[in-house]
Structure 1
Amino acid sequence: MQANIQKNKLFVASCLALLVTSLSFGIRAGILDALGTQFQLNKAELGAIAATAFWGFPLAIIFGGFVVDIIGMKRLLIIAFVFHLAGIILTIYAGKFSSPYLALFISTLLIGLANGTVEAACNPLITSLYPENKTTKLNHFHLWFPGGIVIGTLLVFLLDKIGIGWQIQVGLMIIPTLLYGYLFSKLSFPVTERVAKGVSTAKMYRSLLNPLFIIMIILMFGTAITELFTGQWIDVLLKNVSDNALLLLTIETGVMVVGRGFAGPVVHRLSPAGVLFFSAVFSAIGLYILGHTTGNLLFFGALIFGLGVCYFWPTMLGFVSENLPETGAVGLNLMGGAGMFAVSVYMMFMGSYYDNLLATHLPSKIDIKAFMEASPGSDLANQLNEAKKLAGPEIINATFTIPVILIVAFAALFFYKRSQKKRMVSMA
């Protein structure tokens, strides 16, 4: 590695960039209902807006994966800074446009593109800075994703209590955006690990056809949906089940922050495949509790669920980087892109499914818009709240199937890696 590379400063700047990414998730999750109320958007429209960040992300991360070795990580991160700043400002002024829905759609797309570009550059940057400790350092880096969600949801909760509007809440993201943009503009960057090791571009692309890599891509669909869909929609889904639905997200992500901070001994003790298996088990248990209980048990469910999804994303990336290093930055970014693409599709589908569930729990003779526009405390508003109380857990219970499938898949992966290790030992 070049002598002028300042590893610690690059790592801090990367964490700030990821903090902006996670704040965009946490704050948007917290203001989603407020946006729907102010601009009279139904759940399908809110789902489409929220999903835009998830399909903007894979577009950026996949494109970034293909060009990062060509244009360099630094240029990618400057592009991310511009997209973040533009998306934040457009969100704040969405109400000034003739179509607030379109403005929110475009602003969320810009933020999604920025988020994907951050990961496209920072994931290979972390593996290049710490080639001997990749899974642990990726967990340390990615703790700022749940960390930012904790900060974002707490900000929304507290600022809502004192009557500060969502525009100012969104505007707070400008501060870390300016900080990471300034830091990255001043620092020198290393080349990616694949380039440093002399792995050819042709070999990198051939490695993408490895059956194990294809399996990990498919499993990334499930881990990303389990973690990110639930986190982004938990306030909407459980708002009428609990008076503190947003705090459920705060508890879940708080556990994730602590867990990723202690990733080193956990990964060393269990191995990446073992970590993924236990993550799937706890995720399934947590979702089951969230979908079948009320009251204080929901907070216990959020804690168990947070423990489950804690290691999913960074450990999936770490597993690929350690076991399939020839896939390089493209492999890492295809993993991230696949996860976010799956979430975007699932979120749009579930937004419409949620509206259909509401319709089944409401009198069919009355247009659903009448319920949406009813004044608080009226009979129609109360009927809508009761319908939401039933529909939210039904969405969670439908999602519960995914980590159950992951339990079986990761158990097979764990035993496959263990048998592979035994063969290598016996051959030695």
Structure 2
Amino acid sequence: MFKDEADFEKVVGRLNIDTEPNPEHRQKLRRQMLTVFNQAEQEPATRIIVFRALRSITMKSPFTKIATAAAIIIAVSIGIHFLGGSIDGASVAWSQVVEQLSSHTKYKCRQRVVREQGPQIPTMQIYHLNLQQRRQEVEDGSIHIIDMRSENPITVELYPDQKKAVVTNILGFGPKKDPDIIEMVKRFEQQSTERLGTKKVNGKTLQGFRHKPNEYNDFTVWVDPATKLPVEIELKHPTAGQTIFMDQFEFDFELHESAFSTEVPDGYEVKTVVQDYRPVEPKQISPEDIRTGLSHIAYTAEKLSWMEKLIIMQITDPLMRVGKAYVIAIQSDDGNRIIIVQGNYYEQERMVWIPNEKVVLETPSGIKLYTHPNGSEYARLFLEGISKANPEFFNMENLSEERFTRMIVMPDGTILGLAANKQMSDEKLQQLVESLKEIKPN
């Protein structure tokens, strides 16, 4: 703040403003002020209160009258701008945006994801044909096709430069609707959507809206007043340290439906992956069942002298609540319960966060054990899962505060989870992971 009027005059002087009285200018300013007052009488009560408060505060200041008048005009403009009015055009109601979005079944946009840490996701052009079919053209040249219309959705990843394709069959997962950001935006309620005023992008004035339904999601939407359709959408995930940006929207784009086909073009080398999300019958299985159920290398554990019991089971994945998890459940001679977990989602492409965790043990053979960022909860969920599948093996009443999780990375890159109800010595941990042996065909 300025200490006195002289201090303020110094700042004004440096701005090179003509402060000499000018009758013509005074009359023009008077007409502008009367216009502002007339407009204010027609505005909602909130705007009138803001205007009067600003006028009261400003008129008590010792500043010159011309500076006061200018300050009021600027303040009123700012007030209108941030309280939802539009200086450059008619105000858009959120309900109008929802109405326009509801009349469009397909759209194209550019999507960028910025993460505070971990691997970055490449920028891509996304084509939504409908809520069950999507095409993604990634900046690295790859193309992803997602089709969730059937009981068994299919995703196809095409790598034209290598003439390779990955086809993933997701059994029992569909039919599903796309977790589409536009669909989320359409569900915003008028009363919980905050106006952000306006901003200019490429010479066009946009009107902004913000909606924060919870601590995990914070949406900002910038709308073209002419079309009442989004031009930019920003979705912040504060707890995850991630922000999704969407722009370059085209509604009702022209693209032939064949561009959404899951048929792999001729001449491609195809790798097929199966992810099974059908209902799971918890039961004991053999090591061979693990090998045939996984799309990557499978492991079993040899029984060691300190293991009183070792059973192999398939259970419903307690993290996803659908799909299979293969567990090797061990009861030790000191009463501990230890679980080795394998599943088709335990792949390096999905577990890219592991190298950022701490290495707590590395064996001479090159097996590494990493910490888990939510190890206590992970262990609880898998102990609960095995408790439901085999109550005789573990009772949740015996759940320990010592429970922990380690992620096992084998020398060949295969990833397994290890959850234990109580702490284990490094010696036993090393013995356990070194007892893991690849399951090979009979």
- TM-score, with structure 2 as normaliser: 0.20
Q: Where is the helix percentage greater, Structure 1 or Structure 2?
A: 1
Q: Where is the strand percentage greater, Structure 1 or Structure 2?
A: 2
More RCO (CA 8 Å, sep 6+): 1
- TM-score, with structure 1 as normaliser: 0.21
